[in-house]
Amino acid sequence: MDPGYRKDSKEMLPYEYYLKLYQETDPYDILKRTDIVYDTMTASFRLHMMGVTYQITYPDFNVRHIDGEKIGWYPLEGKANARILVLRYLNEGVRAPASGKFLTYREIPWGEVYYKQFNGRCISRLAFGFGNKLEKFEEIMNKIGAVKLKAGDVSYEFEFIDDLKLRMILWEGDEEFPPSAQILFSDNFPIAFHQGEDMAVVGDVAIDMLKALDK
């Protein structure tokens, strides 16, 4: 499937770089590290992402969703940031169980250094995008099968990629205070993704999903 990159796109070079690494990696090494199902008959992986199951072929990285019709949004079929993020996970990631603890962005490696950028890209975007639209936020979270929590004015936990979970917490704005938000990562994220930038892209992709389904 055409990922939609122009030759002058800033995503083109990293996409080509990580695609080449993917094509040079033994699929059984990917399976061993990530425990993502690999079907030898179709030469494809099966990955779950935000309520949708994708089939990802090896070595050409063709992607198609095989369920999730009720959701209707499939970032791995065309979103540059999501495709590069998943390629990085397949190339480098390690699957590990979570302990049940959740981390703020500041608590992940290098998170303190990049927190200002993450706050603008993700936390503020979540707060001002949905802090005064709590019912719509709940509707979207229910659509992807998220679990409702008791934190904040409204909060949910959902699986981003297999066993990697996010929590999004919103506090509604009023006449005196603007809306606010928090995004938490299950503590196996730093094992799966080794750079703070990856977790920022996770936030970007998740909020892109909210925006896409806010119709």
What the chain holds in terms of domains, given with CATH numbers, is 12-92 (no CATH), 102-213 (3.30.310)
pLDDT at residue 1, as a whole number: 43
* C-alpha to C-alpha distance for 118 and 91, rounded to whole angstroms: 24
Distances (CA, A) of 196 to 118, 160, 185: 9, 16, 12
* C-alpha to C-alpha distance for 77 and 88, rounded to whole angstroms: 16
Place of tokens 């706050």: 119
pLDDT at residue 9, as a whole number: 66
Bridge-based pairing of strands 180-186 and 44-49 is unpaired
Question: Can you spell out the DSSP letters for 86-113?
Answer: HHHHHHH-------S-EE-GGGSTTHHH
Place of tokens 């679990």: 147
Q: Whole-structure pTM over 0.75, yes or no?
A: yes
pLDDT at residue 3, as a whole number: 56
β-sheet bridge partners, residue 42 = none
CB 197 within 8 A of CB 114: yes
The sign of the CA dihedral 103, 205, 129, 143 is negative
Residues with Cβ < 8 Å from 122, sequence gap 6 or more?
105, 183, 200, 203, 204, 207
pLDDT at residue 7, as a whole number: 52
Helix (H) and strand (E) counts in the chain = 8, 9
pLDDT at residue 113, as a whole number: 85
Place of tokens 């909020």: 207
- Provide φ and ψ at 90, rounded to 5°: -65, -35
Positions of the chain with pLDDT lower than 70, given as ranges? 1-9
